[in-house]
Amino acid sequence: MFSKILIANRGEIAVRIIRACKEMGVSTVAVYSEADKNALHVALADQSYCIGEAEASKSYLNENQIISTAILAGAQAVHPGYGFLSENAHFARLCRKNGLVFIGPEPESMERLSDKAALKELFSEAGLSVIPGTKAVSSVEEAKLAAGSIGYPVMLKACAGGGGRGIRLIREAEELEEAFLQAAAEAAGAFGDSSLYLEKYIFPARHVELQILADEYGNAVCLGDRDCSLQRRNQKLIEESPSPAVSGEQRESIIRAVLEAVKKIGYVGAGTLEFLLDEKGNFWFMEMNVRLQVEHCVTEMLTGVDIVKWQIRVSAGIPLNFTQQEILMAGSAIECRINAQSCGALNMLHVPGGPCVRFDTCLIQGAEVSPYYDSLVGKLIVFASSRDEALRKLRAALCELVIEGIPTNIQEQLAIVEDERFASGNYDLTFMGNR
């Protein structure tokens, strides 16, 4: 096991990783930008180092500075969290070159799985049903020909990255050129890669993903499914596990298929396979995230498995010590993402409590919400023995959660939870568009 880990991230996920390390008896090293000098993760870590200016490109994306800091601090491993460098194969390789363990998949695996279009072909060969689509298209003309062959409407997507960037819905041919140029520019700015691919638009549908853990000894487990259909502009707002749209029989079937596919490609680490679930109950594979997901904690609340700790253990060469049959998925867990709606300083925070209520956050008195980074300031998660009880608990927790000084989406989240369509479990990706 590692004795010291550097966390190459910030915000609530850096705090989450530091807490996991402390519970494991592992020393932690925080890195921070000038804008984050008073941040919670800086205070909680055993060592902290400023690595640059506020802009992410000069700090949290500065690969060489992070590597140098890890070596200086005497760390054996680097945990990238999510976002920033978490899916950067070059950074993972740089860690290895400098004698550091990258807590995530091997760089070769990351490269192989980074191109979403090629990834779909790989998982199709592994036995999963994939959404009809293309490999990367190099021009507007090529995209038009491909879209005509697939049939409108189509989704235009960035080959690299995630987070809803570089994605456009194209309903007819006249929309394609402008959308192509916009999506390519957005993808280039966000990921340094402007390449795009097309896939058939499946409608109506729900967004369901499956969390996996796999070690280097051939062991793999699936920690159930999460429903992530509550989205706005491809950004997730609420996640729940298990999905109310998936039957027990469907769940068992897709878990078996996912585990077979993951073992076939030889994946090691934590990962998430994302699917669209159509109205006939068919699962269509979209992509795989080779990192820790923002919403991992809703799965942790349901199963009791600490995904962050197991990420670390697997990277240290420790085999999984439980089987698929030992994973309990009874009850219901629901998560609301709490986002700041503008920048400013926090002047009051009251966090709800009670059994099976969790609030993962980076907020402390006087904390500044900066314009330089993601607007996520916390995740409110509850667990109960039934979905109805979980909804009541979540509503009570949202009513109790107080954040003053910065505007947030707490009231919007409360309105969603109180919406009869969400309460019924009968919703899909169109929910926010229909509000």
Residue 272, pLDDT score: 98
pLDDT greater than 70 at residue 367? yes
pLDDT digits (tens, 9 = 90+) for 153-185: 999 998 876 667 889 999 999 999 999 999 999
Fold (CATH) for 132-200: Dna Ligase; domain 1 (3.30.1490)
pLDDT average, residue stretch 393-420: 97
Residue 161, pLDDT score: 67
CATH number belonging to the domain at 205-434, selected among 3.30.470.20, 2.60.15.10, 3.40.50.1860, 3.50.50.60: 3.30.470.20
pLDDT greater than 80 at residue 116? no
Write down how long the chain is: 435
Distance CA 43, CA 59 (A): 18
Distance CA 46, CA 22 (A): 9
Distance CA 60, CA 85 (A): 8
Fold (CATH) for 4-103: Rossmann fold (3.40.50)
pLDDT digits (tens, 9 = 90+) for 46-67: 999 999 999 999 999 999 999 9
The whole model's pTM is what? 0.93
Which position has the token pair 């004698």?
Answer: 99
Residue 211, pLDDT score: 98
pLDDT greater than 80 at residue 117? no
* DSSP 3-state of 434: helix
In the structure, what pLDDT confidence band is assigned to residue 357 with cuts at 50, 70 and 90? very high
Q: Cis bond leading into 407, ω under 30°?
A: no
pLDDT average, residue stretch 29-48: 98
pLDDT greater than 70 at residue 133? yes
Active site residue 206: no
In the structure, what pLDDT confidence band is assigned to residue 277 with cuts at 50, 70 and 90? very high
- Active-site residue among 16, 165, 168, 291? 291
Q: Which of 205, 198, 201 is nearest to 153 (CA)?
A: 201
Parallel, antiparallel, or unpaired: how do β-strands 4-7 and 27-33 relate? parallel
Q: Which has the minimum average pLDDT: 233-237, 318-322, 382-386?
A: 233-237
pLDDT > 90 in the chain, percent: 88
pLDDT > 70 in the chain, percent: 99
The overall average pLDDT reported for the chain is 95
Residue 135, pLDDT score: 86
Residue 301, pLDDT score: 98
Give the residue extent of every domain in the chain.
4-103, 132-200, 205-434
pLDDT average, residue stretch 123-141: 90
pLDDT digits (tens, 9 = 90+) for 10-20: 999 999 999 99
8 A C-beta contact, residue 414 and residue 332 = no
Residue 188, pLDDT score: 82
Residue 163, pLDDT score: 66
